[in-house]
């Protein structure tokens, strides 16, 4: 399995518009973060998780031209508002893209992208979407995807487990049943935002404790704000936790699943 980090930034991205802090002015490309998403390839099946506003730039950078499914964590703007860019997926494949999301996210997509659900005017294109409301684990071309319910402040959202890989971002609390779903996973990608506490995200200390509780073999942090410097994180995090960066690709052994 190969997981590509399309983006690793918090909702503002890094640099932040109008900010001239050290990290926003950093010359280290690993401190340059577009909004968060990952692209998972396993046994020939391709799954995109979230469609951030920079999706087009991310797809071009990684030369991604399609997916077998799109799964949403939640409908916040930084995770949803690049959805129109998957128009090229449905144009090229000539069929609608299977989209999996919680009921509230399905409703948000229908509202924000209502033009995608009525016939396009002549000569115009629209994203072809086949919406599926998530009610439990599901399969994408034989690959099992397990939704992992977590809390994002007061908002219930989803992380996902695919084989020996789990992706959980924008999480401030995970109930014991969800911890069970990802316990002992080989590779955990987890969202953390800054060192100070935050009402809807875990800070770095909380995220480190979470990785330990899960007993993940290794973890990568994503959804990082301009308060987190790549080099400082690399030096200070436990050895099995690394900060991710845009364009990072990781390999996950599927045989141990
Ligand atoms: Zn977010
Ligand atoms: Zn800044
Ligand atoms: Zn969010």
Give yes or no for residue 122 having a pLDDT over 90: no
Give yes or no for residue 130 having a pLDDT over 70: yes
Q: Which CATH number do you get for residue 154? A: 3.60.15.10
Residues forming beta bridges with residue 2, ordered by sequence position: 41, 251
The reply to whether 17 falls in a domain is yes
Rounded distance, CA 104 to CA 60, Å? 30
- Mean pLDDT, all residues of the chain: 97
Residues with CB under 5 A from ligand 1 (ion): 11, 78, 170
Tokens of 65: 């031209």
The reply to whether 25 falls in a domain is yes
Distance 184 CA to ligand 3 centre (A): 25
Per residue in 188-208, pLDDT tens?
999 999 999 999 999 999 999
Query: Model-level pTM?
Result: 0.97
Distance 256 CA to ligand 1 centre (A): 31
The reply to whether 204 falls in a domain is yes
Distance 252 CA to ligand 3 centre (A): 26
Percent of residues, the chain, with pLDDT higher than 70: 99
Query: What is the average per-residue pLDDT within 231-242?
Result: 98
Q: Among the bound ligands, name the one nearest to the CA of residue 157.
A: 3
Give yes or no for residue 257 having a pLDDT over 80: no
At 255 the pLDDT is: 67
At 106 the pLDDT is: 98
- Which 3 state secondary structure label does DSSP give 207? helix
Distance 94 CA to ligand 1 centre (A): 31
Give yes or no for residue 83 having a pLDDT over 80: yes
Q: How confident is the model at residue 256 (pLDDT cuts 50, 70, 90)?
A: low
Rg, Å, the chain Cα set: 18
Count of the separate structural domains present in the chain: 1
CA distances to 159, 179, 204 from 224, rounded to whole Å, are 17, 22, 10
Give the residue numbers spanning the domain of 177: 2-251
Distance 61 CA to ligand 2 centre (A): 24
Distance 188 CA to ligand 1 centre (A): 17
Sole residue written with tokens 């935050």:
198
Q: Among the bound ligands, name the one nearest to the CA of residue 223.
A: 1
Query: What is the average per-residue pLDDT within 5-26?
Result: 98
């Amino acid at each position: 399995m190969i997981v590509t980090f399309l983006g690793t930034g918090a909702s503002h991205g890094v640099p932040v518009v109008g900010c001239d802090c050290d990290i926003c002015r950093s010359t280290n490309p690993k401190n340059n973060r577009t909004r968060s998403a990952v692209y998972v390839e396993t046994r020939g099946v391709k799954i995109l998780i979230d469609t951030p506003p920079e999706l087009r730039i991310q797809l071009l950078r990684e030369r991604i031209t399609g997916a077998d499914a799109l799964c949403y964590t939640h409908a916040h703007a930084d995770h949803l508002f690049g959805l129109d860019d998957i128009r090229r997926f449905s144009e090229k494949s000539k069929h609608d893209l299977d989209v999996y999301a919680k009921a509230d996210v399905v409703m948000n997509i229908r509202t924000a992208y209502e033009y995608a659900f009525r016939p396009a005017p002549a000569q115009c294109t629209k994203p072809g979407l086949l919406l599926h409301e998530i009610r439990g684990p599901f399969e994408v071309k034989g690959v099992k995807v397990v939704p992992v319910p977590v809390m994002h402040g007061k908002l219930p959202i989803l992380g996902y487990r695919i084989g020996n890989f789990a992706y959980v971002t924008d999480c401030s609390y995970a109930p014991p049943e969800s911890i069970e779903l990802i316990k002992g996973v080989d590779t955990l990608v987890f969202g953390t935002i800054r060192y100070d506490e935050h009402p809807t995200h875990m800070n770095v200390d909380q995220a480190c404790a979470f990785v330990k509780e899960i007993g993940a073999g290794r973890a990568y942090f994503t959804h990082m704000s301009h308060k987190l410097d790549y080099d400082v994180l690399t030096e200070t995090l436990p050895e099995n936790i690394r900060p991710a960066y845009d364009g990072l690709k990781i390999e996950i052994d599927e045989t141990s699943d």
